[in-house]
A and B are shown apart, each in its own frame.
Chain A
Amino acid sequence: MLRQVEGSRAVADAVARCRPQVIAAYPISPQTHIVEALSDLVRTGELAPCEYLMVESEFGALSACIGASAAGARAYTATASQGLLFMAEAIPNASGLGLPVVMTVANRAIGAPINIWNDHSDAMSQRDAGWIQLFAESNQEAVDLHVQAFVLAERLSLPVMVCMDGFVLTHAVEEVDVPEQDVVDSLLPPFVPRQVLDPAAPVTIGAMVGPEAFTEVKYLAAVQQLRALEEIPVVAEEFTRATGRTSGGLVSRYRTDDAETVVVAMGSVLGSVKDVVDELREDGVRIGAVTVTCFRPWPTDEVREALAGVERVIVLNRAFSVGSGTMLGQDVRLTLTTRAPSPATVPAPATVVHDVVAGLGGRPVTRDSIRALVAAVLGGEVDPDRLHFLDLDRSLLEGEDLTPAAKDAR
């Protein structure tokens, strides 16, 4: 049923319908409304049986989820920014142990300087932690991805991070449909753990592994990640069949068919990007957009296919690796230099990739600035070999010594 609702509340409802048995969370903006709502649902008994643990830290939150999951319970947590970093040690631990915890990351910048607003630095910092990372473009998709996340996590015994833009999505009130309980139940059977703490059949979970087998353990993790690339479209397909709605998947294309220029991005910025695509198409610009929904594992083939034959790609990333490019940009670049597995896709003429940092710490990425960026790229004003900072306000930097980095950012 469609209803006007805040994104956080919708996500909380969706999570609740996934029947988590243990929720452990620690408040941090902009995640707070999600966990507050869940706390209500547990207290009122609407979500039962479920234990809500008011832990002392995010480290404790994810750790409690690890314990709960090892005990065979469906476990959920949510955080953002500093909180995600505070749990950092536990993040690869959950994935290393193969525990299907689902976590919402209400994406937010990381300090210093402390900043509560949206960007993707937090999630990007954990891209190598072995979690599946899904990015929601809208609140509807955020809701849908949470249901899919639990299904995926438990099928693959891997933890899943659902990323949704802080404030922009979490605090936005819009029309959202939260799948009904029976629909969710039909998609998500009760959790059957791969290994469980059971006194009747005791196992040792979390053994110490030395050089003799560590590589093999990690190789298996890599194999499992690739399995996720197969499973994610399957789950998305099942979801569509159950709800009639297309959501999730690995990547999605928007008007890319004859595009010479494609904007690649993740998250809510795609809304504005698509508007700009529409406007520029009116003007006859052959432009399209590609949404990366699944950032980890990286869908190499799907991205390559989506960008096949494109002359130039503009990657908008709301985070970057200081001293290098953006994480998304690097993955796109790398993808375009690799060969497709099947000879059907003939290697395209070299595609130029423009790597752009946009919307850090809550800076809005407006349609105007996107349009200006595309114009500058088409006009040859953007050096493709340099990292580009969108809407950099040089007036604020007057008097600062900008050499030698100045040449990077025009």
Chain B
Amino acid sequence: MTTDLKLYQIGTFAAGNRLLDPDERSVQADPGRANAITSGHRACQGCGEALGARFVLDAAIRAAGGDIVTANATGCLEVFSTPYPESAWQLAWVHSLFGNVAAVASGIAAALKAQGREHVRVVAQAGDGGTVDIGLGCLSGMFERNDDVLFVCYDNQGYMNTGVQRSGATPPAARTATTKPVGAEPGNVFGQGKDLPRIAMAHEIPYVATATVADLRDLERKVEKAMSMHGARYLHVLVPCPLGWASASQDTIRLARLATQSGLFPVFEAEHGVVTATTPIRQRVPVEDYLVLQGRFSHLFGEHGRPDVVARIQAGADHNIARYALAPDPEVVPHD
């Protein structure tokens, strides 16, 4: 009558819904989910990376019918999951070094091919440091050879495992242990950072996607899609880190959501170097809404705040919104 009927609109964005058929619910809503990384791991309270890894791997395991092996770079995820004598991993998992996970994964994929076990799929995982910085050489090689690996970067925007130092993915103005809020330009320098999704696209690999822990259905769909393809695939997942971001542990998902809704973290998919889909902003917010919740940006607010710096960050968000057409009017930012 007045609207088209959308049948399952209650809690549409939640993990499950009793009104949906079980196979239409998220993997995370499935009581039989793999729990690739299980309880007892030592991640901080509210760690987005622990969450993101489970989201990704459980979906990958479902997509591959259980036939998954994983290679993991050094970093928080590896450290908090495997302190001897306990491992939180419930799937075949190997850790070698910080910067070589892409190559390790390539080697695994090559081995599986030579062994005629190509039904077993390979997922590589690394933090942003292990991806955009020290791991970039091997990763670029993996992309260029189009090795049959899904590489997942859990981007918490810094070297968290070593105590929150700046990485090539740390956003402008953020406070880290190596970019303190001192001097004329407090926090991290302004710059473009290493936009790895676009670097990956430049390799024209079959699939590149960004996602966050705030949109589980989207993340799972992308993992599923990636797993339906062969060759080098890259998934960049934003995973807020309460410790490194100096944020409240319960705000992890909220922050990921605000990162997307402010335009600071564009969510999109690309195939063979061409953007094929973007997730439009649903409830646009000014960047302040996102920044104020994080201690790493606290020097931008309050009495000695830096509205000029906030404005520059907003300009960066607006640029993303325009570039990926994330909102109808990229110029207008709602202020409430």
| Chain A residues packing against B (C-beta within 8 Å) | 21-22, 24, 49-51, 53-57, 59-61, 63-73, 75, 89-90, 93, 97, 197-199, 201-210, 212-213
Give every chain A residue within 8 A of B112 (Cβ-Cβ). Answer: 71
- Total interface residues on B, CB under 8 Å, equals 47
Q: How far is the CA of A199 from the CA of B115 in the complex (A)?
A: 14
Interface 9-residue window, one of B17-25, B79-87, B205-213, B225-233:
B79-87
Question: Contact partner of A22 among B94, B97, B114, CB < 8 A?
Answer: B114
Q: How far is the CA of A65 from the CA of B110 in the complex (A)?
A: 9
Specify the chain B residue showing the minimal Cβ separation from A214.
B84
Give every chain B residue within 8 A of A199 (Cβ-Cβ). Answer: 66-69, 91-92, 120
With an 8 A cutoff between CB atoms, is B106 at the interface? yes
Extra contacts, 10 of them, besides A64-B110, A207-B95 (Cβ < 8 A), are A60-B106, A67-B108, A68-B114, A70-B107, A73-B115, A199-B91, A204-B93, A207-B82, A207-B83, A208-B82
Shortest beta-carbon distance from B50 to chain A in Å: 15
Q: Is the CB of A67 within 8 A of B138?
A: no
* Central interface residue in A57, A61, A67, A93, by most chain B CB within 10 Å: A67
The prevalent SS among residues of B at the interface is: mixed
Give every chain B residue within 8 A of A207 (Cβ-Cβ). Answer: 82-84, 87, 95
Interface 9-residue window, one of B139-147, B183-191, B215-223, B240-248:
B139-147
Specify the chain A residue showing the minimal Cβ separation from B140.
A56
With an 8 A cutoff between CB atoms, is B113 at the interface? yes
Q: Is the CB of A60 within 8 A of B91?
A: no
Q: Is the CB of B114 within 8 A of A50?
A: yes
Q: Is the CB of B97 within 8 A of A21?
A: no
Q: Is the CB of A49 within 8 A of B114?
A: yes
Give every chain B residue within 8 A of A54 (Cβ-Cβ). Answer: 145
Shortest beta-carbon distance from B205 to chain A in Å: 15
Specify the chain A residue showing the minimal Cβ separation from B147.
A53
Shortest beta-carbon distance from B168 to chain A in Å: 18
| Chain B residues packing against A (C-beta within 8 Å) | 66-69, 71-72, 78-79, 82-85, 87, 89-97, 99-100, 102-116, 120, 137-138, 140-141, 144-145, 147
Give every chain B residue within 8 A of A64 (Cβ-Cβ). Answer: 103-104, 106-107, 110
Q: How far is the CA of A75 from the CA of B108 in the complex (A)?
A: 10
A-B contact pairs, 24 of them (CB 8 A): A24-B103, A24-B110, A51-B110, A56-B140, A56-B141, A59-B103, A60-B106, A63-B138, A64-B107, A66-B96, A67-B103, A67-B104, A67-B111, A69-B111, A71-B112, A72-B115, A73-B110, A73-B114, A89-B97, A202-B91, A204-B89, A206-B82, A206-B96, A212-B84
- What are the nearest 8 A-B pairs in CB distance? A67-B107, A56-B141, A64-B107, A73-B111, A206-B95, A63-B103, A63-B100, A67-B104
Say yes or no: A97-B111 contact (C-beta < 8 A), given A57-B138, A67-B71. no
Q: Is the CB of A49 within 8 A of B100?
A: no
Q: Is the CB of A72 within 8 A of B111?
A: yes
Q: How far is the CA of A89 from the CA of B97 in the complex (A)?
A: 8
Q: How far is the CA of A57 from the CA of B145 in the complex (A)?
A: 13
Shortest beta-carbon distance from A215 to chain B in Å: 12
Shortest beta-carbon distance from B162 to chain A in Å: 14
Q: Is the CB of A67 within 8 A of B105?
A: yes
Q: Is the CB of A75 within 8 A of B96?
A: no
Shortest beta-carbon distance from B326 to chain A in Å: 34
Give every chain A residue within 8 A of B144 (Cβ-Cβ). Answer: 56
* Central interface residue in A50, A59, A72, A199, by most chain B CB within 10 Å: A199
Q: Is the CB of B103 within 8 A of A55?
A: yes
Give every chain B residue within 8 A of A204 (Cβ-Cβ). Answer: 82, 87, 89, 93-94
Give every chain A residue within 8 A of B114 (Cβ-Cβ). Answer: 21-22, 49-51, 68, 73
Q: Is the CB of B120 within 8 A of A60?
A: no
Specify the chain A residue showing the minimal Cβ separation from B101.
A63
Q: How far is the CA of A21 from the CA of B138 in the complex (A)?
A: 21
Q: Is the CB of B110 within 8 A of A70?
A: no
Specify the chain A residue showing the minimal Cβ separation from B110.
A51
Q: Is the CB of A208 within 8 A of B79?
A: yes
Q: Is the CB of A59 within 8 A of B110?
A: no
Give every chain B residue within 8 A of A21 (Cβ-Cβ). Answer: 110-111, 114-115
Q: How far is the CA of A201 from the CA of B147 in the complex (A)?
A: 24
Q: Is the CB of A51 within 8 A of B113?
A: yes
Shortest beta-carbon distance from B235 to chain A in Å: 19
